[in-house]
Amino acid sequence: MEKILIANRGEIAIRIIRACQELKLKTVAIFAKEDEFSVHRFKADEAYQVGAGKKPIEAYLDMDDIIRIAKMTGADAIHPGYGFLAENEVFAQKCAEAGINFIGPTVEQLDIFGDKIKAKLAAQKAGLHTIPGSNGPAKSLEDVKSFAAKHGYPIMVKAALGGGGRGMRIIENDSEIEESYNRARSEAKQSFGDDELYVEKYLKAPKHIEVQILADKHGNVLHLFERDCSVQRRHQKVIEVAPSISLAPKRRHEICQAAVQLMKSVSYQNAGTVEFLVTDDDFYFIEVNPRVQVEHTISEMITDVDIVQSQILVAAGKDLFKDLNLPHQAELKRHGVAIQCRVTTEDPENNFMPDTGKIETYRSPGGFGVRLDGGNAYAGAVITPYFDSLLVKACVQARNFVGAVLKMDRVLDEFRIRGVKTNIAFMRNVINNPVFLAGKASTTFIDSTPELFD
Ligand code: ADP
């Protein structure tokens, strides 16, 4: 492998380019017309416009054009990042047919984990606990009604192909069932092109705990411990912590083992995350994200393992232990606590509406234990409405949770961003709230704590 095309934009494209540079690999960037001044294109050795004439997001989804650019530039591999084509098995197949190495799991694994119903069945087969549910698609309103009658409320309907917190609805009683079912279906159809739903019990205020996995083509599966991603707004992550400060060592061990067991059972390859919802009594598999995640940074900070470089090397056939020299599971140590805050150009006072415009002032924090992953955050940069509103990922690491919170508070305070609104003040409220400080924030914490918005 000598040259890698990065089929993405923004901070993750830059993160991947940096990994390539350290591995002495050449890089090819692609950009939509609206991104012609975006930083990722200037960081790569070569850059080409993709999807000419298409809408901004569609340009990055133009599989044939991406493969054309890869062939034209002689790239031998494509890193898809997250979002866009990262979990698209058709794209992975097209790469294979073009003789290009898709840096991710196999087509078959993408097929299983792209569909949450199939994923849930695979998890059950591997012996993991799943949330009581329909065990297959809920084909009609009647299916959902009979599930509710049998198991009681609250329940949740979810899109089989869902992601990003969309296509899911909580249903509290009989009177809501029809409207929620229809809404979830139409949202699923609109967002994911398929209206298949399933239904499961809605867990009240669980924690979202996920395990970072690395796996190679030789059957080695290594976990890099867990992240606590319970601080969410409308089922989307806002702040992540690694490791979770609220898990007993035994429970941590069980959860990490369950994740490894599942990934081994499907002979998983490359990086992936196994997600669980955790209650006081048990932990339940919810889904696998078969790609690098936004919050991979904090697992890197506590283990010193470069996840993106590892993805590239295992895709090239390298062995996690013999070639990458990673420690075996029993020897893998973690140190301290890392926290990530997703700084977005959203206005908390206006229902987190994305804000756009020119950044007039940008001064970023720094110092010991601080990591910033961004790219398009600088004075003079123009934030467009075309893409997601993630501006920069602020990560800190300290010896313990209290130290990490103090550092993050200092880091958020040190930012000076003028010209566009951000969620920084809101995140300071979150990390200084006693519930968060006690490690007790559950997935409903933000939505049920109005004082965070003061
Ligand atoms: P997505 O793929 O859209 O991110 P997930 O299945 O990963 O969806 O779920 C996202 C979040 O939605 C979870 O972290 C959790 O907060 C909430 N959630 C999902 N399923 C349930 C459930 N059965 N009970 C309670 N909360 C749930």
Q: What is the mean pLDDT of residues 387-410?
A: 98
Cα 165 to ligand 1 centroid, rounded to whole Å: 7
Q: What is the mean pLDDT of residues 198-224?
A: 98
Q: What is the Cα–Cα distance from 307 to 211, expressed in whole angstroms?
A: 13
The annotation status of 89 as a binding-site residue, yes or no, is: no
> Whole-number mean pLDDT of the chain?
97
Label residues 51-76 b or e (16+ Cβ within 10 Å = b). Answer: beeeebbebbbbbebbbebbeebebb
- Give the position, in ligand 1's atom list, of the atom nearest the Cα of 165: 3
Q: What is the per-residue pLDDT across 423-446, written as a single tens digit (0 to 9) for each?
A: 999 999 999 999 999 999 999 999
Cα 235 to ligand 1 centroid, rounded to whole Å: 6
State the pLDDT at residue 235.
Answer: 95
Cα 446 to ligand 1 centroid, rounded to whole Å: 15
Positions annotated as catalytic residues are 291
- Give the position, in ligand 1's atom list, of the atom nearest the Cα of 131: 23
ipTM: 0.98
CB of 15 sitting under 6 A from ligand 1: no
Q: What is the Cα–Cα distance from 429 to 347, expressed in whole angstroms?
A: 14
Q: What is the per-residue pLDDT across 42-79, written as a single tens digit (0 to 9) for each?
A: 999 999 999 999 999 999 999 999 999 999 999 999 99
CB of 164 sitting under 6 A from ligand 1: yes
Burial class (CB in 10 A: 0-12, 13-18, 19+), 325: exposed
State the pLDDT at residue 333.
Answer: 97
Closest CA to 441 of 307, 245, 267: 245
Q: What is the per-residue pLDDT across 280-298, written as a single tens digit (0 to 9) for each?
A: 999 999 999 999 999 999 9
3-state secondary structure 334-372: CCCEEEEEEEECEEHHHCCEECCEECCEEECCCCCCEEE
* pLDDT of 388 strictly over 90: yes
The annotation status of 235 as a binding-site residue, yes or no, is: yes
Confidence of residue 165 (pLDDT cuts 50, 70, 90): confident
> Which residue's CA is the closest to the ligand 1 atom numbered 15?
235
Cα 298 to ligand 1 centroid, rounded to whole Å: 21
Give me the percent of the chain exceeding a pLDDT of 70: 100
CB of 200 sitting under 6 A from ligand 1: yes
CB of 208 sitting under 6 A from ligand 1: yes
> Which residue's CA is the closest to the ligand 1 atom numbered 14?
208
Task: State the angle between helix axes of 116-125 and 249-265 in degrees (0 to 180), rounded to the nearest 10.
Answer: 110
Cα 206 to ligand 1 centroid, rounded to whole Å: 10
Whole-Å CA distances, 229 to 30, 145, 245, 441: 31, 31, 11, 9
Strands 197-201 and 155-159: antiparallel
Task: Tell me the best of 161, 197, 286 to mutate to test the pocket of ligand 1, counting ligand atoms within 8 Å of each CB and taking the most.
Answer: 286
- Give the position, in ligand 1's atom list, of the atom nearest the Cα of 275: 7
Confidence of residue 164 (pLDDT cuts 50, 70, 90): confident
* pLDDT of 221 strictly over 90: yes
**This prediction's pTM:** 0.98
Contact (CB, 8 A) for 329 and 340 = no
Q: Specify the DSSP element, H or E, that contains 13.
A: helix 10-22
CB of 346 sitting under 6 A from ligand 1: no
Closest CA to 125 of 8, 282, 285: 285
CB of 452 sitting under 6 A from ligand 1: no
Cα 115 to ligand 1 centroid, rounded to whole Å: 14
State the pLDDT at residue 90.
Answer: 98
The annotation status of 208 as a binding-site residue, yes or no, is: no
State the pLDDT at residue 454.
Answer: 83
Q: DSSP letter string over 21-47?
A: HHTT-EEEEEE-GGGTT-HHHHHSSEE
CB of 216 sitting under 6 A from ligand 1: no
Q: What is the mean pLDDT of residues 96-120?
A: 97
> Which residue's CA is the closest to the ligand 1 atom numbered 18?
235
* pLDDT of 135 strictly over 90: no
* pLDDT of 365 strictly over 90: yes
Q: What is the per-residue pLDDT across 290-320, written as a single tens digit (0 to 9) for each?
A: 999 999 999 999 999 999 999 999 999 999 9
CB of 203 sitting under 6 A from ligand 1: yes
Q: What is the mean pLDDT of residues 324-335?
A: 98
* pLDDT of 262 strictly over 90: yes
Q: What is the per-residue pLDDT across 415-424, written as a single tens digit (0 to 9) for each?
A: 999 999 999 9
Q: What is the Cα–Cα distance from 61 to 384, expressed in whole angstroms?
A: 18
Q: What is the mean pLDDT of residues 332-361?
A: 97
